[in-house]
């Protein structure tokens, strides 16, 4: 979607949204002034997405589902959670222990995974949810209050990762793409870092400055792996937080598996010279666009995941890349077709078949989303990766 499309297609703000946006904009003006007139884009994201009381994820607006800004796979269909549960069941059979979900949204994934694990007789000792948003935690607790007591009793909300490593599963669905990331641009032989400044009228504008040595080195490391050089004016994203984030999760995992599900590509595809505008996307009321400075604090902003960077971070964290495939291949391997066929009522079967198509089709979620498993102490082939092995593309 072009910038012009973004402006003309987005719905107008409601009065309370406009009021909140004005408060966030004032906080941004103060932050930009405090940083000498220029704010790095990852710092911009930390404020507009995560600042208490201001950021998109910490404010009270609806974010997920048909009434929010975007629909995630667990919200779309319980079929997705049933498939994730089957992969969790295999790992839990080998390791015992607990299941930890990161950033659980509305609780839709947990609402599907726990009953399926009970059906498979592979319930974890605890189902931990690490949620940084107080608003989303309340919504999760409300949704999951309807589960049977035998399942509710296993739920525990955490403010931080467990102090001691857990055996079992860690699941992160659409979490890595929301980590604050940097933007860069190529200008001749120079690498520029794209940040945020203020116009003479006090409005937010893109502003480039020469990249610091650390960013230049990271960009050079990417460029060395590519078959062709980038054209002048090329721009993209880079997430320095991925390595420490994977390292922290690796330290939190004893014997078990970390399952990552997200929009993403291997490095050579992510940074292909023809992908000259990067992967940044914003979502507002079911519409996608590429204007991250529009509606600060009121819209989701994300970038696709460089799964090669994840694999590099896994090696540093003493984790093995045990599987990497498309979401479609993962869901087929974990029995999505059987779940559809198990529907007894015709209407339910037709509804599930429609949901399955959205989860599987290449032009929908099936190809753009990838699934990666990082393991420690597990030798068995993981069920979800039996149909496809894309690890060589990393």
Three-state secondary structure string covering 107-164? CHHHHHHHHHHHHCCCCCCCEEEECCCHHHHHHHHHHHCCCCHHHHCCEEEECCCCCC
Taking only the tens place, the pLDDT of each residue in 85-133 is 999 999 999 999 999 999 999 999 999 999 999 999 999 999 999 998 8
Q: State the first-to-last Cα distance of the chain, in angstroms, to the nearest integer.
A: 28
pLDDT score of 3: 47
Q: How many other C-beta atoms are found inside a 10 Å radius of the C-beta of residue 255? A: 17
Per-residue exposure over 97-134, b if at least 16 CB sit within 10 Å of its own CB, e if not: bbbbbbbbbbbbbbbbbbbbbbebebbbebbbbbbebe
The Cα angle at residue 164 between residues 162 and 166, in degrees rounded to 5 = 80
* Phi, psi values for residue 102, rounded to 5°: -100, 130
pLDDT of residue 58: 80
Whether pTM exceeds 0.85: yes
Domain boundaries, the chain: 3-67+181-239+271-296, 73-178+242-269+304-393
Report CA 86 to chain centroid distance, whole Å: 21
Across 172-185, b (16+ Cβ under 10 Å) vs e yields bbbbbbbbbbbbbb
Alpha helical stretches, state H, 205-279? 213-224, 242-252, 267-270
Contact 130, 158 (CB under 8 A): yes
Distance, in Å, from the CA atom of 170 to the CA atom of 88, rounded to the nearest integer, reads: 9
Q: Are both 3-67+181-239+271-296 and 73-178+242-269+304-393 of the same fold?
A: yes
**Are the C-beta atoms of residues 183 and 196 closer than 8 Å to each other?**
no
The C-alpha atoms of residue 394 and residue 267 are separated, in whole angstroms, by: 7
pLDDT in tens, the chain (394 residues): 344 454 567 888 889 989 999 999 999 999 999 999 999 999 999 999 999 989 998 865 544 444 545 578 999 999 999 999 999 999 999 999 999 999 999 999 999 999 999 999 999 999 999 998 888 899 999 999 999 999 999 999 999 999 999 999 999 999 999 999 999 999 999 999 999 999 999 999 999 999 999 999 999 999 999 999 999 999 999 999 999 999 999 999 999 999 999 999 999 999 999 999 999 999 988 788 999 999 999 999 999 999 999 999 999 999 999 999 999 999 999 999 999 988 777 788 888 889 989 999 887 788 999 999 999 999 999 999 999 999 999 9
Between CA 299 and CA 180 the distance in angstroms is 14
HSE, side-chain direction, 13 A CA sphere, residue 209 = 12
CATH code linked to domain 73-178+242-269+304-393 = 3.40.50.12710
Contact 359, 102 (CB under 8 A): no
pLDDT of residue 60: 56
**3-state SS of the chain: helix, strand, coil percent to 5?**
40, 25, 35
CATH code at 3-67+181-239+271-296? 3.40.50.12710
Q: What is the pLDDT of residue 10?
A: 83
Residue 54 and residue 61 in contact, taking contact as beta carbons nearer than 8 Å: no
Q: Measured at the alpha carbon of residue 273, what is the angle toward residues 45 and 314, in degrees to the nearest 5?
A: 55
Q: Coil, helix or strand for 282?
A: strand
Reported for 160-163, long-range contacts at CB under 8 A and 24+ positions apart, including other chains, are: 160/130, 161/100, 161/130, 161/248, 161/249, 161/252, 162/100, 162/128, 162/252
| Residue 206 Ramachandran class (φ > 0 left, ψ -120 to 50 alpha, else beta) | beta
- Decide: helix, strand or coil at residue 225: coil
Paired sense of beta strands 127-130 and 155-158, if any: parallel
């Amino acid at each position: 979607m072009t910038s012009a499309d973004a402006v003309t297609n987005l719905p107008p703000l409601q009065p309370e949204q406009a009021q909140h946006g004005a408060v966030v904009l004032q906080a941004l003006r103060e932050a930009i002034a405090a940083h000498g007139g220029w704010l790095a884009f990852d710092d911009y994201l930390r404020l507009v997405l995560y600042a208490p009381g201001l950021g998109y994820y910490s404010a009270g607006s609806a974010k997920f589902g048909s009434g929010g800004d975007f629909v995630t796979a667990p919200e779309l269909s319980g079929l997705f959670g049933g498939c994730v549960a089957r992969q969790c069941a295999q790992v839990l059979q080998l390791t015992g222990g607990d299941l930890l979900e990161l950033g659980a949204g509305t609780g839709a994934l947990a609402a599907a995974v726990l009953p399926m694990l009970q059906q498979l007789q592979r319930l974890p000792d605890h189902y931990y949810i690490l949620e940084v948003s107080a608003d989303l935690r309340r919504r999760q607790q409300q949704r999951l209050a309807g589960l049977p007591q035998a399942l509710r009793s296993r739920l525990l909300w955490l403010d931080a990762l467990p102090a001691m490593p857990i055996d079992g599963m860690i699941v992160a669905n659409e979490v890595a793409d929301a980590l604050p990331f940097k933007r860069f641009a190529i200008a001749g032989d120079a690498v520029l870092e794209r940040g945020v400044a203020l116009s003479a009228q006090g409005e937010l504008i893109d502003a480039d400055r020469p990249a610091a040595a650390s960013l230049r080195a990271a960009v050079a490391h990417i460029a060395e792996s590519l078959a062709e050089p980038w054209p002048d004016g090329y721009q993209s994203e880079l997430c320095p937080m991925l390595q420490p984030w994977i390292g922290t999760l690796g330290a939190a995992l004893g014997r078990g598996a970390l399952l990552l599900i997200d929009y993403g590509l291997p490095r050579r595809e992510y940074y292909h010279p023809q992908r000259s505008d990067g992967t940044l996307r914003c979502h507002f009321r079911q519409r996608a666009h590429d204007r991250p400075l529009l509606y600060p604090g009121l819209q989701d902003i994300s970038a696709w995941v460089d799964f090669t960077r994840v694999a590099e971070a896994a090696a540093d964290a003493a984790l093995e890349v045990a599987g990497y495939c498309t979401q479609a291949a993962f869901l087929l391997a974990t029995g999505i077709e059987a779940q559809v066929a198990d529907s007894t009522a015709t209407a339910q079967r037709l509804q599930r078949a429609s949901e399955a198509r959205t989860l599987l089709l290449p032009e929908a979620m099936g190809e753009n989303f990838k699934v990666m498993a990082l393991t420690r102490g597990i030798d068995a082939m993981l069920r979800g990766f039996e149909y496809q092995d894309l690890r060589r593309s990393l």
